[in-house]
Structures are given as C-alpha cells and as structure tokens.
Structure 1
Amino acid sequence: MRSTALRSDEYHHYYQPYIDVLGDVELMEMLQKQYVNFPQFLASIPQEKLHYAYATDKWTIAEVLMHIIDSERIFQYRALRFARNDQTPLPGFEQDDYIPYSGAEKASKESLVQQYQAVRQNTIALFSTFDDETLMRSGEASGVKMSVRALGFCCCGHQKHHRNIIRERYL
C-alpha cells in the first residue's frame, strides 16, 4: 500500500500535511524504517535540549516526543476499531490537554525511546495483519471519516512532521 494511493476522502484535510510530508512511500516499509531511524535521531538529541522549548508556550522536545507517542497510540486504537468494522463514531482528543498529564518532563530520553519503540512495534504488528480489504475499511473519528490505511500513514507522517519541527526549531 503506497501513500500516493490514498484518496482525499479517506481522511480530513487537517491530516494532509502528514500525508504530503511522506512523499510516495509504502506503508509497512515506512513503519519499519522509522522504527529503526527515529530512535537513532532521538539518541542524537543532546540531553540538555530534552527539556528545551524554542518559545514561550511551546512544548519541550520531551513533550513533543510524548505527543508523538500518544498520538500514535490513538491512531492505532482507531485503526483497530475501524479494521474490525466497528462503526461507533469515536470522539476526538485535545492534544494540548494531554501534555500536562503526560509525565514527559519527568521522563528520561531512554524511557521515551523505549515507549516509542513499544508503540511502533505494536503498530507494525497490528498493520501487518491487515489485508487490502481491511486497509480500505473506515470509520468516524472526530466527526470525520478515516480509512484504516490513512491512519497508518498518519502515524508515519505525524512522526516525520514533528521530527522536522524538532530539527528546524529546537536543534
């Protein structure tokens, strides 16, 4: 399944930047590639930068990393529900409300890496069970229709989007 095969009616336009940042990639290859490369990127971040925010009222790097982890958990849960053809509309989540309770500022870089690896490993395991028919299933989250495959690409694109922001604004 390639990202360029996604149709615009499979996700809300809010997620377009996460799809666009990927270019033309295959879903399982990208999930696996990021599983290896992202921890290497995290290891390159100086420890003293972990709790740095580039401006007032912006998240620290640790908070951005926890946001990536939390969002993938949510995308993964949605994908599971939609893959199983659960048509119950799912509520949205307010990302800014999660951060104060995330424990990111107390977490070590090693802990954040371990959490990321565990979550991504589970995403890979989950998506590896989906056939083409399953990937095309969809459901409603935050009042918007989303396909299972779009959620997989959102996991990848969301991570890459925030990695780019960390590189550009924090390091």
Structure 2
Amino acid sequence: MLSQVKEGEYNPYYGTYISKASHADIVEGLQSGKKEFTDFVNAIPLEKWSYAYADGKWSVAEVLQHLIDTERIFSYRALRFARNDKTPIVGFDQDNYVPYSNANNYSKEDILSDFEAMRNSSIALFRSFTDEMLGMIGEASGSPMSARAAGYILLGHQVHHFEVIEERYL
C-alpha cells in the first residue's frame, strides 16, 4: 500500500480500496486516474454500454455513474473532515442511487463530461488541503474517516470497478 493512511483513519471495510491506490500522492493519483478513466471509457464497445452480466446487476454505464456519484460523496466527506466538521455523516445506499441515475440513457460523452467536471473539482479540493487538513478525522457511517482516507478510497475505488468491468462485463 503506497498510501499514507494510518490505522484508525478509516473503517476496515475500505481497506480493499485503499490497498488498490497506486499513487502515494492523492492529487497525482486523481490526475492520473482522470486520463485512465477517459481511456477506459473510450475503449468500451458501444454494445456493452447498457450490458449487465446478470439480472439485478448494474450495467456498465451504471457502474461508471456510480464512480462519479461516489466521488461526489467522498469529496464532500473529505471537505467536511478537512474543515474539522465533527458532525457525523450518515451513510448512503448506493443501490438506491442506480435506478435514479438515468445512466443507461447517457452517452459516453455525457459520462465523460460529468466525470471530468467532478474529477477537476476533486483535484482542486485535494490540492487545497494541507497535511494537517488531510489528517483531520470525522465520522462517516458510524466510523472514523480522515480526509486523507477519503482521497485514497477514491483512487482505489476507481481501480476496483475497472477490474470488475474488465472481469465481468467485457
């Protein structure tokens, strides 16, 4: 694990994502991941866009929209924690987001545009954090989380879902 996350900065559930983060610097990872996302999405055949590998599973487009939605949520969490907001943040049910995402009606260009806007915002946000801010811990879903952990979770979450798409969808 290249991340600088310390024990106690996140719920162990997120360890899988954090361990997949391949950059020690969050901003560099977000910048690199931006290009990787674009290249990955552009390589997906159009006939696979709304494909789901089993009943009840998300389509490729829905998985990609899930990545964007999650980045919005975890960037918000990082902002709250970095500003020393100690108000607990409740969790979110990712499965309830998908039916309302309308992702299967989005084109690749729509997804790429939405992602680019979100990722540029995340890059600017994490670039603004000092080391002290990155280490600030708040509470999300009943567990501690630092702003730093939220950043590494974003990096690894993208890698995780790219692996799932390659393994089960393409």
Q: What TM-score do you get using the length of structure 2 for normalisation?
A: 0.96
Matches of 1:149 and 1:87, distance apart in 2? 16
Matches of 1:8 and 1:110, distance apart in 2? 39
The alignment partner of 2:139 has SS state of: strand
Two-structure CA RMSD over aligned residues (Å): 1.2
- Note if contact 2:5-2:149 (Cα within 8 Å) is conserved in structure 1: yes
- Over 3 Å counting, the alpha-carbon distance change for 1:137 and 1:3 in structure 2 is farther
Aligned residue identity for 2:78: A
Asked if 1:160 is matched to 2:150, the reply is no
Alignment partner, residue 115 of structure 1? 114
Q: What TM-score do you get using the length of structure 1 for normalisation?
A: 0.96
Alignment partner, residue 64 of structure 2? 65
Matches of 2:2 and 2:91, distance apart in 1? 23
Cα offsets for 1:78-127 (capped at 9, x unmatched): 11111111110011000000000011111111100111111111000000
- Note if contact 1:138-1:148 (Cα within 8 Å) is conserved in structure 2: yes
Alignment partner, residue 127 of structure 2? 128
Alignment partner, residue 81 of structure 1? 80
Alignment partner, residue 39 of structure 1? 38
Q: How many residues align?
A: 170
- Note if contact 2:81-2:146 (Cα within 8 Å) is conserved in structure 1: yes
The alignment partner of 2:128 has SS state of: coil
Cα offsets for 1:126-162 (capped at 9, x unmatched): 0000010000001001001000000011111111100
User: Alpha-carbon deviation of 1:56?
Assistant: 1.3
- Note if contact 1:3-1:153 (Cα within 8 Å) is conserved in structure 2: no
Alignment partner, residue 11 of structure 1? 10
User: Alpha-carbon deviation of 1:24?
Assistant: 5.6
